[in-house]
Amino acid sequence: MILRSHARPVAALVAAALVATVAPALTGCATAIVTVGTQVAVSAIDRRSTGAQIDDETIGFKVVTTAASRWENDVHLNITSYNGVVLLTGEAPTAQVRDEIVQLAKSTDRVRMVQNDIVIGPLADLGARTNDTYITSKVKVRFVEENRFNVIYVKVVTERSVVYLMGIVSREEGAAAAQIASTTSGVARVVKVFEYTN
């Protein structure tokens, strides 16, 4: 079974990038301190409360664990939780399995809303998944290059070349993120799953 939870906060990615950059100059405990310090700093910038960030981690873990025990190798499922909004993407063999996954997510504690984009059909192959990862990377790089909003506020998930954007953003930030993503090569379409601050 291929299951992934994308609930991990951007802090982990930023921390990993920082450590990769400065680690050669640091040793042992110093690296750990830099990593933890970066995660705390990014968590403080995140528009979600600390409790909501922990809830998102827990939601992703619970849904992935339960789905893995029920459907084993029958589904390819990605679960992304952001401020209690759960995005489900991937493939399921039947509408019944898809509906059961959606119900599982909806019944998970702290879930406020579920966006279901699970496709009925064969599991995506490794090439398609690799391409999705590449597209996500390109979109994130363009966010940084354009510098029109704080990239920490927008979560990017790509499935079958469709880019999903999540986060707590202003309408201007959301429009900028969608415009940048939609003009990135390889992106088939953009789906906004934002919560707006205005």
Task: Give the position of tokens 């279901």.
Answer: 116
| Per-residue model confidence as pLDDT tens digits over 77-135 | 999 999 999 999 999 999 999 999 999 999 999 999 999 999 999 999 999 999 999 99
- pTM (2 d.p.): 0.80
CB count in 10 Å sphere of residue 3? 19
Cβ atoms < 10 Å from Cβ of 192 = 17
pLDDT of residue 39: 46
The fold of the 126-196 domain, in CATH, is: Histidine-containing Protein; Chain: A; (3.30.1340)
pLDDT computed for residue 52 by the predictor: 96
Run of H or E residues at 78: strand 76-82
Q: CA 26: distance to chain centroid? A: 30
CA angle 163, 166, 169 (to 5 degrees): 125
Is the per-residue pLDDT at 57 higher than 60?
Answer: yes
Could you state, in order of their start, the residue ranges of all structural domains in the chain? 1-123, 126-196
Check pLDDT > 50 for residue 10.
no
Q: What is the per-residue pLDDT for 2?
A: 60
- Helical H runs in 8-167? 10-22, 28-45, 50-71, 95-106, 126-146
Q: What does the pLDDT read at residue 6? A: 66
User: Is-contact 10 42, C-beta < 8 A?
Assistant: yes
Region 1-123: CATH code: 3.30.1340.30
| Dist CA 87 CA 31 (whole Å) | 33
Binning pLDDT at 50, 70 and 90, where does residue 45 land? confident
Q: What is the edge-to-edge ordering of all strands in the sheet holding 155-159?
A: 155-159, 162-169, 189-196
Residues 195, 49, 51, 1, Cα dihedral to 10°:
40
Same topology for domains 1-123 and 126-196, yes or no? Answer: yes
